[in-house]
Amino acid sequence: MTENLNHWTFVTASYVLTIAGTAALTLHSWLAMRRAETRRERSREQ
Amino acid sequence: MLAGSMHGFANPARFLKLARLLTVPLLASGVLLVAASLGWGLFGAPPERLQGDSVRILFVHVPAAWLGMGGWTAIAIASLAELVWRHPLAGIAARAIALPGAFFALLCLLTGSLWGRPAWGTWWVWDGRLTSMLVLFFLYCAYMALADAATRDGQANSRIPSIFGLVGAVNIPIIHYSVLWWNSLHQPPSISMGKSEMAPEFLWGLLASTLGFSLIFGAVVLMRMRAILADQQAEARLRRRAMEGGDD
């Protein structure tokens, strides 16, 4: 039995997962860093 | 000499200065390289003779595998530096690598599954390569749980995550050699030291995307190290102030 799969569905899903996941990871890390550095600055000012 | 150059960055102030300088350039160059190489992967590279268009998944799957395995190798090296040389930033580096490492290991499994369906006719097989990669993802999860528990219990310098990081490194050669040791649907390595069986139109795009994702990985690790250091410094300052208040 041969399946006639559209390869582009799998390619698109892989690229969307990779790009969205990497962007989310980067944004999460950036925000965590900004939050922590702001907290450190506040603790210095207090 | 190695220990000497490592201890050059043992001073958090010196490290932070360098990290602030590198974070954005690493991220920007990584994003540019990834955008260019994924654009090539989607629209420039030709379909492969046997695999057709599904071969384009190569440009995201291989960097994810490389970073999933490279991340744990870096955790093992940092753990060794923490245990042997008591390097003050090594434990922080290992903790900062864990989440991006776990993400890329999971991404490797997901994109591999999406590639396996059109290429092999199945989403998953319990063979050596896929199973050992899944084990790597679970190792990352366990490492993060151990490191979080140690930090929560006020034992940020606990050696248990470092020992676990070293022991878990046993899985890295198992993943690498699994396709040679056992029968597998997964193909053997196409690129080894100094030689490649890959056509240039795939090879250069793959090298660019791997370098691009590695630069983003580096930037993310720096961000996470900066966050951990800032948290520790704020925590220490608040504790000191509380003790001074208690003495009055």
Give me the tens of pLDDT residue by residue for chain A, a chain 46 residues long.
Answer: 446 789 999 999 999 999 999 999 999 999 999 999 999 988 877 7
Q: Considering the domain boundaries, does residue B73 fall inside one? A: yes
Q: Which of A28-42, B10-24, B59-73 has the lowest mean pLDDT?
A: B10-24
- Residue B111 lies inside a defined structural domain of this protein: yes
Q: pLDDT tens digits, residue range B121-142?
A: 999 999 889 999 999 999 999 9
If one counts the domains in chain B, the total is 1
Residues facing residue B196 across a β-bridge = B191
In a domain, B48, yes or no: no
Judge whether A33 is closer than 8 Å to chain B, CB to CB: yes
Inter-residue contact B82 to B162 (CB < 8 Å):
yes
Domain of residue B210 covers: 66-232
In a domain, B212, yes or no: yes
- Complex ipTM value: 0.91
Residue B35 has pLDDT above 90, yes or no: yes
B156 in a structural domain: yes
Give which of B175, B197, B188, B170 is closest to B66, Cα–Cα.
Answer: B175
A16 touches chain B (CB under 8 A): no
By the 8 A CB rule, do B133 and B127 touch?
no
> How many contacts, defined by CB atoms under 8 Å, are there between A and B?
98
Q: How confident is the model at residue B191 (pLDDT cuts 50, 70, 90)?
A: low
CB contact under 8 A, B237 and A5: no
Residue B115 has its nearest CB partner, among A10, A22, A30, at: A10
Residue B89 CB partners (closer than 8 Å, separation 6+): B9, B10, B12, B15, B225
CB–CB of A46 and B219 under 8 A? no
